[in-house]
Amino acid sequence: MSTSSPELFVELDRSRPRGLRAQLERSLRDAIRAGRLRPGVRLPSSRALAADLQITRGVVIAAYHQLTAEGYLTSRQGWGTVVNTITVPEGSQRRRPPPAGIRYDFQPGAPDVGLFPHAAWARATRAAMRSLPGRSLGYGDPAGLTELRETLADYLGRVRGVSCEPDDVVVCNGFSHGLSLLAQVLAERGIAVEDPGHPDWREQITWAGASCHPIEVDDEGLRVDRLAASGAGAVLTTPAHQYPTGVALSPGRRTDLLDWARTSGAYVIEDDYDAEYRYDRQPIGALQGVAPDHVVYAGSLSKSLAPGLRLGWLVVPPALREEVVATRARGDRFTSSIIQATVAEFVQRGDLDRHLRRTRRGYRQRRDALIAALRRHLPACRATGISAGLHVLVTLPGGMDATRLAATAARHGILIQPLDRYRACPAAPGRSPALVMGYSRLTPHHIEEGIHHLATILNSDGVTTL
């Protein structure tokens, strides 16, 4: 016969009543040493644990005292009994330390989550909890919370020129989730993608059962003239800042793309992933504002705030809306109402605008630092693309092997990505070698240091002299 506690994973074998205290001590000691009970975790009160385990309170108090004396637990005034930070002998730790030796992370993709505005977010959460009506804590609308859809419709109209009503907005768990919904809805049509482009999106499209048609990108962006021959009935594109080459879709191609969509009845999926970060001028308005019936606009908080929020949105043309919402409802139903209400508050209070103003300045400095460091230490390399976003494309002298170079750099603690990782057909000959370098998570000082280090390694390793 055994007893257990729902608040704490310990089980006592009650067929051995004399050993209850020792069992409890051993169970807690093992859990702390194995890392299952982490430093700072508060244990249940002696009264609550005794009731759960059906033992006398004195047994729990005695076990807590013993483990406190051994240094595993500590008592904090007004807080109760807490797990202490202990040094566990080597070999007994379950959790692995973070990968050792990574000194400069130039991988693209994520923002600097160290800049996340914790205090403003906490204020928005408190305000959201005060005003969130009880009914919003039940099963909600799969398209999203009304307050957030209204807020997003205003925000996107104001900052990106998106033309929509709250009813056109579908809240989702980030862009990747939005794309998976669209890929299911548009599966019959086939979806064209930019090549190079994000490899995960190609995978998602095929996973949803749609055919995926890679279309070349050049220095004016997507080769729109190749769309008709592809047979695709939709295209996923990043017109404001092509991912990952960093070019903007030229004005002529913007017009041609919308003409193709109108004449063939196709849809454009506009991934506007980092349009908030343009450093040299106002960003170009969203394509959606020009052709709302043919463009599905998609955005996310992953670059502007944090990928961990898992919050994004689609602005969906009327003809697709019902199917997109039904697909959402069949899947995970809807996004957490508390997160949605908090985001609505955060945007309405002007906190997103403030955060973007602040981070825009910081990321611009980091971009400038990267470009200056490349010029200084690797003058044969060239940073290309518009002054925007959180990454740059760096072209290398012809004949270099960017994949080998990235592997050499990684052995020295420098993470960079070869452009080939983003290509649908990396082996095609005649392409210039290039790297995709993110600068968002390093300070200007570390960027300068990292590039200097990279140049030293490359020159001394015999990879090449740059």
Ligand X SMILES: Cc1ncc(COP(=O)(O)O)c(C=O)c1O
Residue selected from 44, 111, 312, 385 as contacting ligand X according to rule CB under 6 A: 312
Residue selected from 198, 278, 328, 423 as contacting ligand X according to rule CB under 6 A: 198
Closest CA to 294 of 267, 312, 269: 267
In the complex, least distance from residue 187 CB atom to ligand X, rounded to whole angstroms: 19
Q: Which of these segments, 89-97, 152-160, 174-182, 184-192, binds ligand X (CB under 6 A)?
A: 174-182
Residue burial 378-409, b: 16+ Cβ < 10 Å; e: rest: beebbbebbbbbbbbbbbbeeebebbebbebb
Query: Would you say 174 or 418 has its CB closer to ligand X?
Result: 174
Query: Would you say 221 or 312 has its CB closer to ligand X?
Result: 312
Asked if residues 435 and 419 have their Cβ atoms less than 8 Å apart, the reply is: yes
The C-alpha atoms of residue 267 and residue 194 are separated, in whole angstroms, by 15
Peptide bond into 251 cis (omega under 30): no
Asked if residues 266 and 123 have their Cβ atoms less than 8 Å apart, the reply is: no
Q: Determine if 243 is a binding residue for ligand X (CB under 6 A).
A: yes
Residue selected from 64, 72, 106, 273 as contacting ligand X according to rule CB under 6 A: 273
Q: Determine if 245 is a binding residue for ligand X (CB under 6 A).
A: no
The C-alpha atoms of residue 261 and residue 267 are separated, in whole angstroms, by 6
Q: Which of these segments, 131-139, 168-176, 219-227, 434-442, binds ligand X (CB under 6 A)?
A: 168-176
Q: Determine if 307 is a binding residue for ligand X (CB under 6 A).
A: yes
In the complex, least distance from residue 88 CB atom to ligand X, rounded to whole angstroms: 35
In the complex, least distance from residue 7 CB atom to ligand X, rounded to whole angstroms: 34
Closest CA to 341 of 133, 137, 147, 120: 147
Query: Would you say 23 or 300 has its CB closer to ligand X?
Result: 300
The C-alpha atoms of residue 49 and residue 32 are separated, in whole angstroms, by 17
Q: How far does Cα 447 stand from its chain's mean position?
A: 22
Query: Would you say 55 or 235 has its CB closer to ligand X?
Result: 235
Q: Determine if 176 is a binding residue for ligand X (CB under 6 A).
A: yes
Q: Determine if 413 is a binding residue for ligand X (CB under 6 A).
A: no
Question: Counting Cβ atoms within 10 Å, is residue 281 exposed (0-12), middle (13-18) or buried (19+)?
Answer: exposed
Which spans of this chain sit near ligand X (rule: CB under 6 A)? 109, 174-176, 198, 238, 243, 271, 273, 300, 302, 307, 312
